[in-house]
Amino acid sequence: MDKTADELLEEGSASEFIIKYEEIIKQGYKINPQPKKTAKRGRPKRGKALCLIERLDNHKVEILRFINERNVPFLTILRSEIFEW
């Protein structure tokens, strides 16, 4: 596979990639459902896997941005979260 960094995904490949990404997120939610509420106070623990799935779902636009843009900074998401703290 001889692809350079300057090449973008074709339109059909890009839409297939996005559909596959969304399917993986849905499967992740099925495998790692939200925890049931208990009688204890506070929010129940969600676990690392569910937190990762939610993060990938919430930041889908930023993660998939490389499909249509050539010059996407590597640390865009991380940089924005550092400044939010």
Cβ atoms within 10 Å of 65's Cβ, excluding its own: 14
Which of the two residues, 51 and 84, has the higher pLDDT score?
Answer: 51
- pLDDT by residue (tens digit) across 3-48? 555 566 676 788 898 999 999 999 999 998 887 877 778 777 888 8
Q: What's the Cα-to-Cα distance from 83 to each of 11, 36, 64, 79, rounded to whole Å?
A: 34, 33, 22, 7
For residue 38, the 8-state DSSP code is -
Q: How confident is the model at residue 2 (pLDDT cuts 50, 70, 90)?
A: very low
Q: How much is the pLDDT for 19?
A: 93
Question: Can you tell me the distance from the alpha carbon of 56 to that of 62, in angstroms, rounded to the nearest whole number?
Answer: 9
- Which tokens belong to 44? 């129940």
pLDDT at 81 over 50: yes
pLDDT(67) > 90: no
